[in-house]
Amino acid sequence: MLLSTLVFANDVTIRGFVTAVDSPTSFQIDDYRITAEKLVSLEFEDRRDERSIATFTPKDIRVGTELEITGEYDDNSRELKARSIRVFFYDTLTVKRTALLEKVPRLTKSDSGWAGVIYADGERITIFPATSVTLKPNQAERKSVLLQATSEASKFTPDALNLDTFVHYEGVRQSDGSIKAEKAEFEHAAIENGEARMRRRFAPAVINPDYAGSLPGAIETYRKEYKILPNQEAQEYISRLGNSLIPAHQKELPDNDPLKIPFRFFLVEKEGFNALTYPNGVVIVYSGVFDVFENEAQLAFALSHEISHAVERHLWQQQEYFRNELLALRARGVFVPDRLLLANLRASGFSSQYARSLENQADRVGLEWMLGAGYDIREAPQSWKAVAGKMRDPAINPYWSSAENYTARRSYLMAELRNRYADVNYSNLKKDRDEFHRVAGIIHGSEKDKSARSAAAGK
C-alpha cells in the first residue's frame, strides 16, 4: 500500500476555473477534485484593488473563480489535496473590458442616476445610480463641427446607442454571476486611420488552387504564406460553415459600410492544430484540425472564436494597449525603444493577462454565436479534451497544446456553460453532420496522396 501511494501520488500545480463546488474545502477544476484542509490559507495575485482581497474568503469560491492549486495529486482517486490556493481576480472577479453591445440596452434615468441592464461580452452588466455612465465621441465625432460647438456631445442618452456601439466597462462580479458596473462608457464604432492602415497591411494576395489539376493555391498576408488545399468541396464547406456563424448584424451591414468585415475562410495545407484570424476578416484554418476535432460542433466553436477576434477588433485593441503602455512609460521620463518595449510587455505577466482576457472574451462571444447558429455548445469544452489527446504532437501550436492552458481553457468554458447556459434545451441543437467527416476523409486522402508523391519523387 505504501509503494502504491508513492507511485501514484504526484506533486502538481494546476491553474484553472472552478467548475463545481461542494463546499469551501471541496470543489472541482475540470477533471481535478480539489480538497483543502481548513488551515490552507488563500494567497492572492498582486492587485491594485485591495477591497476584493480584504473581503474574499473560501466561502466566496464559486463556479468560475480562477485559482492556482499546488498540492499532492492521487492518480487513483483523481483527488488533489491542496497545500496552497492562489486566487486570481483579474478578468473574473474584477473586470475592465471593452465589447460590442449584443442588444440595445433599456436604461432609465432618475434623480440619482441611471439604472438597467446591459448585455454585451456574453455578460449581464447591471447599471446602478452610482454607476458612471457616459458617451465618448469617437474620432470622427470629435472632429465634427457640431460636436465641437456644444458641450452636449459628452452627455449620455440611450437613444444614441445601437448595435455598432462599444461599451468600455469596469465592475465587480456578483454572487449571481452578473457584473455590477462602476463605470460604463459608450463609444460608437468607427474605423480610425491607424486601424484602416492595419487592415490594409494584412490585405491578402490570393492565387486560387487548380482544382482540376489538384494543385494548391497560395495566400500571402503580412509575411505569412500558406498553401490553399486544392479541393473545392472542402473549401466550400469551410466557407459555408464559417459564414453561418457570422453574427446577423454584421452580415446585414451594407457592403460599403466601413464596419462591414468581408470575411473569407481558407482551409490550408498545414499540419497541427491551429486557426487564426486577421483584422480584415481573413480566417485561416489548418487542415490538421480535422485530425483533432471529433465533430462539426467542435469546429464551429473554433471558427466562432476566431470570428469574434475580428468583430471585437482584438488585434487593434491589443496594439492600442501596447501603445498606451509606451506612452505611460515615456510620460514618466522613461525612454524605451518601441521594439524593446513591445517584447518586454508581451513577456510580462500583465501583458499575458491582457491577452488571456481577449481569449476569454472570444470564448464567451463565440459560445453565443455558436448557439445562435444551432450548435451544441457543450462541444466547446469537449474540443479541448480532443486537443489534449494530441498534445504530444510537436506540430501542434504550443499556445493551444500546453497542459496548463488545456485545463484553463476547458474549465473556463465549463464554468461558462454552468453559470450562463443552465436553462438551454439541447434536444434540437446540432452536434455533427456527415459533411464534416466527408471533408475529413478528403483531407486525409490528400495527405496520403501527397506522401505517396513525395516518396515516388524520392525514388
Q: Please determine, for residue 157, whether its predicted confidence score (pLDDT) is greater than 50.
A: yes
Domain boundaries, the chain: 2-89, 95-190, 196-453
User: What pLDDT score does 390 carry?
Assistant: 72
Q: Please determine, for residue 68, whether its predicted confidence score (pLDDT) is greater than 60.
A: yes
Query: pLDDT of 223-277, one tens digit each?
Result: 899 999 999 999 999 999 999 999 999 999 999 999 999 999 999 999 888 899 9
Query: pLDDT of 13-48, one tens digit each?
Result: 999 999 999 999 999 999 899 999 877 888 987 655
Grid coordinates representing 254? 451594407
Mean local confidence (pLDDT), 60-86:
92
Query: pLDDT of 399-454, one tens digit each?
Result: 344 555 778 899 999 999 999 999 999 999 999 999 999 999 999 886 555 554 45
- Angle at 168 (CA atoms; ends 162, 170), nearest 5 degrees: 135
The Cβ of residue 72 has, within 10 Å, a number of other Cβ atoms equal to 14
pLDDT band at 458 (very low <50, low <70, confident <90, very high): low
User: What pLDDT score does 35 carry?
Assistant: 95
pLDDT band at 143 (very low <50, low <70, confident <90, very high): confident
Q: Is the pTM of this model over 0.85?
A: yes
Domain covering 2-89 assigned CATH 2.40.160 in the classification: no
Q: Exposed, middle or buried: residue 391 (CB in 10 Å: 0-12, 13-18, 19+)?
A: middle
Query: How far is Cα 230 from Cα 211, in angstroms, rounded to an integer?
Result: 5
Three-class DSSP category at 284: strand
User: What pLDDT score does 394 carry?
Assistant: 41
User: What pLDDT score does 156 carry?
Assistant: 82
Query: pLDDT of 326-385, one tens digit each?
Result: 666 666 666 656 565 555 555 554 456 788 899 999 999 999 999 999 999 999 999 988
Largest CA distance in the chain: 85
Query: How far is Cα 48 from Cα 12, in angstroms, rounded to an integer?
Result: 29
Query: How far is Cα 54 from Cα 256, in angstroms, rounded to an integer?
Result: 52
Query: pLDDT of 187-237, one tens digit each?
Result: 999 998 889 999 999 999 999 999 999 999 999 998 899 999 999 999 999
User: What pLDDT score does 396 carry?
Assistant: 39
Query: How far is Cα 124 from Cα 113, in angstroms, rounded to an integer?
Result: 19
Residue entry with cell 495529486: 73
